[in-house]
Structure 1
Amino acid sequence: MTSNPKRILIVGGVAGGASCAARARRLSETAEITMFERGAFVSFANCGLPYYVGDVITDEKKLLVANADLFRQRFNIDVRLENEVMAIDRTTRQITVKNRKTDEVYQESYDALVLAPGAAPIRPPLPGIDLPGIFALRTIPDSRRIREWIDTHQVKQAVVVGGGFIGLEMAENLVHRDIAVTLIEAQSQVMAPLDPEMVAPVHDRLRSHQVTLCLGDSVAEFKPNANGGIDVLTKSGATHAAELVILGIGVRPETALAKDAGLEIGDRGGIRVNDQMQTSDPNIWAVGDAIEVKDFVTGEWTVIPLAGPANRQGRIAADVICGRDSTFRGVQGTSVCGVFGLTIASTGANEKTLKRLGWDYGKVYLHPGHHVGYYPNAKPIDLKLLFSNQDGRILGAQAVGEDGTEKRIDVIAMALQTGATVFDLEEAELCYAPQFGAAKDPVNMAGMIAANALRGDAPLVHWQQLENLEDKRLLDVRSVDEFAVGHVEGAVNIPLPELRDRLLELNPDQEIWVYCQVGQRAYYATRALRLNGFNAYNLSGGFKTYQAVSSD
């Protein structure tokens, strides 16, 4: 490899490939840069496709971030649409290309080759999977076909298979078009990156918009029905009638080209690359949804198909090809999804992963308003922070709310990326005005609660531990009226304002687990009890978190 190669060939022209091509041109005016895209579009916004189906985006041209003419005129990059790369000869450094419009087959030589083929929607080999009316959504032609099917068949009933990003976004957009939706998810929850208790408000929001949730069930078969539609049969024995089926099961890295060329494929099924995006062949790089990279938090190999990392990987590959010493730090899975006005965001490891790895971690739950309560329309954010019990290092965070949710996860994501701790979150100086936040921002509050626990000032226990209550006292410090509306079985109620006068009712030799509605009053009570010689613990997140855990 030379520091300024003569010929850079790029396979795939969406996020990673297009970013690599443009960056390479900005670093070299002399390199020949050619990008091959087997589809009819380059650099399109596939994240916007569900909203085009749902008529939220009405102009298809808005989905085109760039086109072949722009790449040619602005960057002097040769973009060959509907040209599919069929094979790589690593010995001669040549690729074989088929022009899908003319069937011409030809070869091109390279000094540096970048693979950005993306990922393909999973279509499991189920009976009836190829029936008309069953679609996956990955490209602009896919969205066109779905829109045409909806219009032609006057669709009023749809089944969405899969409760991930695409599944939720498609459910919302189909409802937006007055289509009744049944969502089938094999797991017991939607949005697998979140822990189960954090998804409870998402399930509630979906149901409140008449989305029928079939959780813990999976599709067994598709059959044509007497009405000209499709019956979706599940393993539980249920049958769901539909005129349209959307497959949102997930995606699989496109690795056929790399496999055939003998490049290393990782255990997770993606092209294995190093931190400079090089494959096992030093003259071939790979970026985007097709690759395996290291998880920034756990160090494990992982496949995370997200546009942000793909763009950065494309830039890094171009840097290295052009002689710069750039490295990719890994992925932490920072992501966000909107559904019916609810924002779902996360970064880093979830608790499921930390449990699997056997890490010594702590967690806090809180439910702050997205801005101060005295300013109108404060909306709650359900926030979970995960951290190392050894040094307070941030390991992950999840949040669900209507406003200000992704802002908090963005802040925590940046803190995680720099190796910050919960003690740093305590001290973070963030924007504050009444309509935007609070003097103690939710991010600060998460850090303070975690730091207080690590210092031993207000140690935490969690609702998942309730089965071990034999020798402990459960204390509810909410008002008598709140307690009457609903409480945890076995709890004793001493409202916080009465606590100091009623300490004699509590046993100083017994652990006391304290809860309120969201955790703040229980924190005050925990501090008062500990200062009076009681062994008190705050039940993190209060009764609100208990309800979410109980519905899990």
Structure 2
Amino acid sequence: MHPAALAARRVVVIGGVAGGASCAARLRRLTETAEITLFERGANVSFANCGLPYYVGGVITDESKLLVANAAKFKSWFNVDVRERTEVVAIDRQARTITARELPTGREYSAPFDALVLAPGAQAIRPPLPGIDLPGIFQMKTIPDSNAVRSFIEANGVRRAVVVGAGFIGLEMVENLVHRGVEVTLLEAGSQVMPPLDPEMAQAVSAVLASKGVKVVLGDGVAGFEQGPGGKGMMVRTSGGKTYDADMAMLVIGVRPDTALAKTAGLELGARGGIRVDEHMRTSDPVIYAVGDAVESKDWVTGEWGLCPLAGPANRQGRIAADNIAGRDSKFRGTQGTAVVGLFGLTIASTGANEKTLKRLGRPYVKVYTHANNHAGYYPGASTIDFKLLFDPKDGLILGCQATGTEGVDKRVDVVAALMQLRGSVFDLEEAELCYAPQYGSAKDVLNLAGMVAANHLRGDHPIVSWDDLPRVKEEVAAGTAVLVDVREPSEVARGTVEGALNYPLSSLRARLHELPKGKRCYVFCQVGLRGYNATRQLLLAGRDAVNISGGWRSALQAGVVSSTL
């Protein structure tokens, strides 16, 4: 169908922000003849909700900077009729009309559509806990939410806060409250901060929180709130029976898709509670589309249906819905959850599946760790990027990665995310030609190194295990069939090593090779993995059975299987 076919069509978009606003703008760029009306129940049709914590913290000082586009701009730029503070309360699929209610006046009216786009987003989870309606308990979803938090802090001289939920928004709120001089306690019902990460990769997050004086409480969720003595402040009670005093609380435990309208209209919902759509973003009704946080989409790696409340996918889905309404055959590839968060100078980023998901699905995988500088070590300011790569043992297909560090983390994860969209493998990482100058990278970039480690493993040149295997390795050592070999220098070993490990520094290994027990498998480790690899190759070429423990001592510390003496 050519866009001219839209000459008499009326398109209604319900919801703005990322998905709905992108859809309306894209559709106008494809046709000048469609009548496009966008209904937004909030006061702002398109705003940067990812910037809200930074507005609370004063990093963003001007509220207007959060406004991406207003109704007047949509009218003048795109000839889109935007009706803010207007909620769509019903959809008549047979008559192809919607019922809208003007929130300031309560007036209701109907509007016809030939194509309808649902972009209602997701609602912040606010469970019916005791005391949930006490003053000083906030969520963070809209500009009014952020203004309410700012006003409360300033009016009440907030000094102590409890943040409930250690996900993306929770961590950003912690940082910005600390930035305002507030003492923060972070409650997380799960066993780790930053649940999308694998546990060992989350250790860097815990460390930076501790360094900033944030009290982190894991494995204990919120159970309720009570007014503080004399009506001042509050007490936050946990499921474990603990109590934390605070002047305010931030409830950021996640979001759920806003599907009330879709459900009432009889549209199909998925098992995760989101609106079920096909690759064209069509719902179970072929003239109704859905985009953004309210929809379920397929995971690019696993093929599972799931929810992915991120701005990037919402924008792409909005554009794809517009394409299909305009008669183009446009398909959404799926989501891979590429995400990044900053916390007190630390950057945490990931894309694709994590190890927890692959284990749950029973999907075969191999993992490798690299710890390398963000740029050439001889150039001032180099810092370490801790990088975890997951790949298919059969063909090296990249399944996901996670990384933490102070600089260059987002750049590396973005490269992996793009390669994954092309079904790239570790062999592609090994050969990737990336920017190099001393202040930006290294001739062998972090990604090249990860690709080399993985590719060498698949070629049979580099047998590896991880620190998860340490209990089994110790069993082999106890049975007399294996030895642990620490190839670091004695000064490094003095700071901590695995009990019972033999110390054969790489610098003297070749000369002392005859001292190593023969007929036993050598499990080799160093500080970050490189010397362990070189030692493993020496041993293999000498006819010994050798395996490198990926990531070395640094990964062991992150995994919590050992501890340093310092």
TM-score in terms of structure 1 length? 0.99
The residue identity in structure 2 corresponding to 1:292 is E
- Distance across 2 between alignment mates of 1:150 and 1:114: 38
Secondary structure of the residue aligned to 1:485 is coil
Match of 1:154 in 2: 157
Alpha-carbon deviations, 1:389-416, whole Å to 9, x = none?
Answer: 0100000000000000000000001111
Match of 1:485 in 2: 495
Alpha-carbon deviations, 1:318-349, whole Å to 9, x = none?
Answer: 00000000000000000000000000000000
The match for 2:129 among 103, 126, 131 is 126
1:473: how far off? 0.8
Match of 2:139 in 1: 136
Q: Does 1:501 align with 2:511?
A: yes
TM-score in terms of structure 2 length? 0.96
CA contact (8 A) 1:10 1:21 kept: yes
The match for 1:541 among 535, 551, 558 is 551
The match for 2:535 among 525, 532, 538 is 525
The match for 1:100 among 94, 99, 103 is 103
The residue identity in structure 2 corresponding to 1:447 is G
1:59-78 alignment, distance < 5 Å: 59-78=62-81
Q: Does 1:82 align with 2:85?
A: yes
1:178-217 alignment, distance < 5 Å: 178-217=181-220
The match for 1:19 among 15, 19, 22 is 22
Match of 1:448 in 2: 452
Q: Give unpaired runs (5+ residues) of structure 1.
A: none
Alpha-carbon deviations, 1:366-399, whole Å to 9, x = none?
Answer: 1100001111110100100000001000000000
1:255-294 alignment, distance < 5 Å: 255-294=259-298
1:289-368 alignment, distance < 5 Å: 289-368=293-372
CA contact (8 A) 2:467 2:561 kept: no
Q: Does 1:425 align with 2:423?
A: no
1:267: how far off? 0.3
- Give identity over the alignment, percent: 62
The residue identity in structure 2 corresponding to 1:312 is R
Match of 2:469 in 1: 465
CA contact (8 A) 1:197 1:551 kept: no
1:502: how far off? 1.4
- Distance across 2 between alignment mates of 1:222 and 1:441: 50
Match of 2:172 in 1: 169
The residue identity in structure 2 corresponding to 1:411 is V
1:81: how far off? 0.4
The match for 1:116 among 116, 119, 122 is 119
The residue identity in structure 1 corresponding to 2:349 is A
- Distance across 2 between alignment mates of 1:352 and 1:535: 30
- Distance across 2 between alignment mates of 1:490 and 1:61: 62
Match of 1:50 in 2: 53
Alpha-carbon deviations, 1:203-225, whole Å to 9, x = none?
Answer: 00011001100011111111111
CA contact (8 A) 1:515 1:538 kept: yes
Secondary structure of the residue aligned to 1:282 is coil
Secondary structure of the residue aligned to 1:168 is helix
1:517: how far off? 0.5
The residue identity in structure 2 corresponding to 1:7 is R
Q: Does 1:33 align with 2:36?
A: yes
The match for 2:238 among 234, 240, 253 is 234
Secondary structure of the residue aligned to 1:368 is strand
Q: Give unpaired runs (5+ residues) of structure 2.
A: 477-481
- Distance across 1 between alignment mates of 2:151 and 2:160: 15
Secondary structure of the residue aligned to 2:494 is helix
Query: Cα gap change, 1:551/1:157 in structure 2, threshold over 3 Å: closer, same or farther?
Result: farther
CA contact (8 A) 2:10 2:112 kept: yes
The match for 1:392 among 351, 371, 396 is 396
Q: Does 1:371 align with 2:381?
A: no
Secondary structure of the residue aligned to 1:416 is helix
- Distance across 1 between alignment mates of 2:78 and 2:126: 37
The match for 1:250 among 248, 251, 254 is 254
CA contact (8 A) 2:45 2:70 kept: yes
- Distance across 1 between alignment mates of 2:471 and 2:77: 65
- Distance across 2 between alignment mates of 1:108 and 1:485: 72
The match for 1:222 among 197, 205, 225 is 225
Match of 2:479 in 1: none
Secondary structure of the residue aligned to 1:71 is helix
CA contact (8 A) 2:270 2:276 kept: yes
CA contact (8 A) 1:229 1:243 kept: yes
Match of 2:484 in 1: 474
Secondary structure of the residue aligned to 1:366 is strand
The residue identity in structure 2 corresponding to 1:442 is V
- Distance across 2 between alignment mates of 1:505 and 1:252: 61
Secondary structure of the residue aligned to 1:356 is helix
- Distance across 2 between alignment mates of 1:467 and 1:551: 9
CA contact (8 A) 1:44 1:65 kept: yes
- Distance across 2 between alignment mates of 1:101 and 1:219: 35
The residue identity in structure 1 corresponding to 2:52 is L
CA contact (8 A) 2:185 2:216 kept: yes
- Distance across 2 between alignment mates of 1:201 and 1:454: 29
Alpha-carbon deviations, 1:183-241, whole Å to 9, x = none?
Answer: 00011111111100001011000110011000111111111110511101112221111
Alpha-carbon deviations, 1:106-133, whole Å to 9, x = none?
Answer: 0001000000000000011211111111
How many equivalent residue pairs? 552
- Distance across 2 between alignment mates of 1:303 and 1:236: 30
Secondary structure of the residue aligned to 2:387 is strand
The residue identity in structure 2 corresponding to 1:30 is T
1:34: how far off? 0.3
1:551: how far off? 6.5
Alpha-carbon deviations, 1:463-519, whole Å to 9, x = none?
Answer: 010001222211000001110111111211111111011112223321111101000
